[in-house]
Structure 1
């Protein structure tokens, strides 16, 4: 009897610990099925007839899958979005990383194939394929990750910018609604995700406390106007207001001073 009571105590303690660890996430595991069902039912269905269909092998994380491409198994990185990490060698696991992976996994569950819409350039510097991902029903995976606050718009590199305006409009709505990654102010940064800020906010009970006006100011870094962009050759260039290509430059990062830009590894534009 004592042994049974001890086992029950340990079981309850483990379950309590797991509950406490995951209680900061607004998308609970039990809610994911309902979220996926709602997404499939209500998502806009896009025409995929002109896209290329490939065999789906696996989901690696929220923004990466593996497909069979021309007879080889290859990774596909989702264009223009970035989800929190799940098992990064230096960053570790970031809040909402597991949720983003589970969302992508369940959205593609049961599918043997996916449809890929390529932009101008097919691969990144790591030789991974780059594409916009759709289900056979025409659901955009990137659109739904952004809509549900599980990804940010990022890695905006010319010439692959076809859907950047569309994605930014979706992100803005999620940000204003303070859902998912946007539920904690300053968790999302221009360089990725700051989990220290996230856990500090949770500890102080400040989740879902985004003030819209303040958030917009923070995300634009106030009056910071120096645009950092990575060109097709992988060179980090920053552009100052008044320079020839400034208005046409899509910023990957914004800086307040030239010193800040240089510290991040960017060099000044020639004109």
Structure 2
């Protein structure tokens, strides 16, 4: 009886935690095609799955391209058009990330837009096919990943872990694509440092600025490199004053 009471207390406490988490509202910076950051909190957009940053797809002509990087860039451009972003809490994933239903300031469903434009896939394992019809729209128009061949993100991740996955539509080639990703990956050609200050401000430094050499990029803190100032601004960073 005591064990049952303790179990019920834990269930009620968890239910209270889920209902008491406040929505996140603020300017969103893009981590990847289905993950954003608002006020220092990582948010996994609920119901969809976008290609991973390192994932390679094939376009309509059969050429390799970084579909994960393309999805991230498209998401950044979409969010900057109507800010702030609002995410309602759904759950937390195994990594502790906030899973949320996210909308722009104009009320448009971000996951729906990603699925409808072929930048992400409906994820029926977690949403019971909520965005399946929007995915079919992208598929019919042959836009986004549907313009060529690709491997589902969940199968791609399983393959990278060495697990058994469903047969891939196209395997990631051994040689990386020549396109340089703009978000989150360190590259010798991406020289702009995206730093997060102690007060939470996101500031980017370009070569030859006063504090460029002293500025370090720590990925675990959400800091990253950018290939252009346009990329940095779209992701929510501002330029350093000196």
TM-score, normalised via structure 1 length: 0.43
User: Which has the higher relative contact order, 1 or 2, with Cα contacts under 8 A spaced 6 or more apart?
Assistant: 2
Larger Rg computed on CA atoms: 1
